[in-house]
């Protein structure tokens, strides 16, 4: 199933004890509707405050309700900040996380103040140089060890960035990145450093230096979670 959610009032996607999470709310609702203990697998583990237009998840059920009927029933009991856009049957071996070929994320920055968008954009008082930010983003393209852009203490940090760039959408600056995998805080650390470049505090070439450095957490600062969106999962 493909879903959209507002992550403002959730402690991220993944189930955590005593915390309200998207996976937890969905699992409880599905278990109630199907009268089964449901195990839900998500394509991406979004952090607290991160939103999604196209999160994908899968589960197994013996319930014979048709997918579209189950989708409608599920939407009728879910809170208004989660909506199931599509639901369909898939082969029994399908795994929404491990079968994904790539994911697309967007990050939204507003150079100004908007109380109505405070949970959905990173708002900054600085004017940003979009050309410099786009120039710095191009260093990320290709297969790289992106250790400097994550806080994960260990493990493989190789990421194949398939597409990247900034664009203007009305009064917002929107960063879009497609990659075969995403590390913890990867996009937020990319954006945090590129905003510093846009302010003129660093040259665009610093992105190449950070990639070469391969030092965990070197690409400070980290952009806040609420400007980030999981847009699409590709299979």
Which residues 6+ apart lie within 8 Å of 114 measured at CB? 121, 123
How many domains, the chain? 2
Q: Are residues 124 and 221 in the same domain?
A: yes
The CATH number assigned to the domain holding 141 equals 3.30.70.660
Q: What integer best gives the mean pLDDT of the chain?
A: 97
Residue 153, pLDDT above cutoff 80: no
Q: Are residues 82 and 106 in the same domain?
A: no
Task: Grade residue 203 by pLDDT with cuts at 50, 70 and 90.
Answer: very high
Alpha-carbon span 128 to 200, nearest angstrom? 8
Q: Are residues 220 and 117 in the same domain?
A: yes
pLDDT at position 155, please?
Answer: 85
pLDDT at position 233, please?
Answer: 98
The CATH number assigned to the domain holding 78 equals 3.30.70.580
Q: Are residues 149 and 211 in the same domain?
A: yes
- Asked which of 27, 60, 86 is the last residue of a domain, the reply is 86
Average pLDDT over residues 147-156: 90
pLDDT at position 96, please?
Answer: 98
Q: pTM of this prediction?
A: 0.96
pLDDT at position 154, please?
Answer: 80
- 51 close to 6: Cβ distance less than 8 angstroms: yes
Choose, from 6, 9, 47, 145, the residue flagged as catalytic. Answer: 47
Residue 152, pLDDT above cutoff 90: no
Peptide bond into 221 cis (omega under 30): yes
Answer whether residue 181 is part of any domain.
Answer: yes
Q: Are residues 193 and 140 in the same domain?
A: yes
Q: Count CA atoms within 13 Å of residue 92 on its CB side.
A: 2
Q: Are residues 52 and 152 in the same domain?
A: no
Q: Are residues 118 and 73 in the same domain?
A: no
Q: Are residues 82 and 119 in the same domain?
A: no
Domain enclosing residue 221, as ranges: 102-234
Answer whether residue 93 is part of any domain.
Answer: no
Answer whether residue 22 is part of any domain.
Answer: yes
Percent over 70 (pLDDT), the chain: 100
- 89 close to 67: Cβ distance less than 8 angstroms: yes
Answer whether residue 137 is part of any domain.
Answer: yes
Q: Are residues 120 and 75 in the same domain?
A: no
Percent over 90 (pLDDT), the chain: 98
Alpha-carbon dihedral angle through residues 190, 16, 38, 42, given to the nearest 10 degrees: 0
Query: Is 156 among the residues known to form the active site?
Result: no
Q: Are residues 26 and 130 in the same domain?
A: no
């Amino acid at each position: 199933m493909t879903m959209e959610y507002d992550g403002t009032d959730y402690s991220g996607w993944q189930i955590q004890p005593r915390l309200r999470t998207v996976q937890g709310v969905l699992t409880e609702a599905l278990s109630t509707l199907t009268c089964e203990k449901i195990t839900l697998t998500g394509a991406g583990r979004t952090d607290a405050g991160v939103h999604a237009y196209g999160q994908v998840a899968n589960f197994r059920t013996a319930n014979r309700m048709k997918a579209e009927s189950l989708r409608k029933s599920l939407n009728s009991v879910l809170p208004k900040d989660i909506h199931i856009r599509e639901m369909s049957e898939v082969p029994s071996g399908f795994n929404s996380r491990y079968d994904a070929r790539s994911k697309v994320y967007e990050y939204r920055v507003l150079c100004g103040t908007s109380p109505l968008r405070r949970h959905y954009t990173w708002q900054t008082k600085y004017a940003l140089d979009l050309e410099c930010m786009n120039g710095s983003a191009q260093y990320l393209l290709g297969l790289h060890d992106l250790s400097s852009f994550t806080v994960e203490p260990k493990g493989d940090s190789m990421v194949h960035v398939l597409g990247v760039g900034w664009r203007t959408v009305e009064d917002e600056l929107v960063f879009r990145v497609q990659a075969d995998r995403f590390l913890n805080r990867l996009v937020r650390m990319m954006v945090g450093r590129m905003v510093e470049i846009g302010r003129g505090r660093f040259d665009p070439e610093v992105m190449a230096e950070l990639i070469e450095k391969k030092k965990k957490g070197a690409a400070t600062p980290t952009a806040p979670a609420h400007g980030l969106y999981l847009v699409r999962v590709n299979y």
